[in-house]
Structure 1
Amino acid sequence: MSRDETHRFSKTPRESITLVTGLGVVGDAHAGALVQHRSRVRRDPGRPNLRQVHLIQDDLLAEARAVGHDLGPGGLGENVLTTGVDLLALPTGTRLLLGEVVLRVTGLRNPCRQIEDFSAGLLKVVVARADARPSTSEITLGPTGGAESIDGAGITRRAGVMAVVERGGEVRPGTAVEVELPPEPHQRLEPV
């Protein structure tokens, strides 16, 4: 569990975090009913905040550490680090139950140039070609700084998922995550 009061790249690990329905993590710079991410505020400050809570699978951090990146909990700016849940395979609208807390998955985090600025080469860990072919090319970033393509090919974004808080409460490390899929047909996750 991590949060940070300012718009820094990484978040500080905490003994617990408190989530508030419709707002996000208490004491986190990204909490709010309307967009809080600076690039999105500049584009349209009146949009709903679909990025109240950021979740990442712990195996991504392990993979990054295995290739030399010094990452611990909160290192990629996530609020919740999960184990044993394939977050990236979930459809949009999936509900995640963390004890009394209910989160609704809204989409993928779109990795951006800040990841590369944080640790050179890390962007290539969190973004891959969608066809799984290896590439030594640089990742093409869009006008807002988010990853768009590699070698002109589509990409797979692996930097976690974003969610909104449907029911608040306190979450501590080790809290089990239960998954409730939405009704079919399922919509695949898109960047939010």
Structure 2
Amino acid sequence: MCKWNMMSGSDDEFDPEVDLLRRYHDMLNTQMNSINEIDNKASNTAKLIGILFSLTLTAVSLGVTTEIVQLSDTSIPFFVMLALSLVTFLLALLLSITTYLSSTIIHGPTASVGSYMANYQVESQQYIDIMLRTYSKAVRENKTVIFKNASRFKKALAVLMAGLIYLLTSGILLVVSVLEIGSIFSGRFWQYLGPLAGLSRIISASKTT
């Protein structure tokens, strides 16, 4: 009976080599799905970072135009945190793009196997041996790709989280800066208004007398 009956679902004869080939095939499918899933997450993360970067620059531009954001001693920490957030966003974007572009998937026999079989007569056992070597190599290389991409994507998420923390901190510092500027103007307003109020009371008192 042909060894390939195991691949077609026949249970009349068990062959360990053919069973291993089938398991390798399932492993390669799982690895391919894992790599595609990491790629999709990296792509979505890159899009999210691009949106955050654009919204941040737009908000800062509007703040400068409306003079809500002003360069002063109190606003320097805000600009420092804002710059750190933008730099980390760019770094996270670079890591996400690198993760997406560096994915390589090996699934099934290579072109050299087909060329060899076209030029030489290959027996059934020899073909099984070739496929075992091909599949085992593909599993090892795909495992390396998955490990590197997963590690790179985790770094991208960590850097993105740091950027969000920097951005949140810059927002808090901006609110504090605006409140300090408002309190300064408010103090000056009441400083000038106080004498005027006293003068108006004197004038009104003189009129009554």
TM class by shorter chain equals under 0.3
Which structure dedicates a bigger proportion of its chain to helix? 2
- TM-score if structure 1 supplies the norm length? 0.17
Which structure dedicates a bigger proportion of its chain to strand? 1
Select the structure of larger CA radius of gyration.
Answer: 2
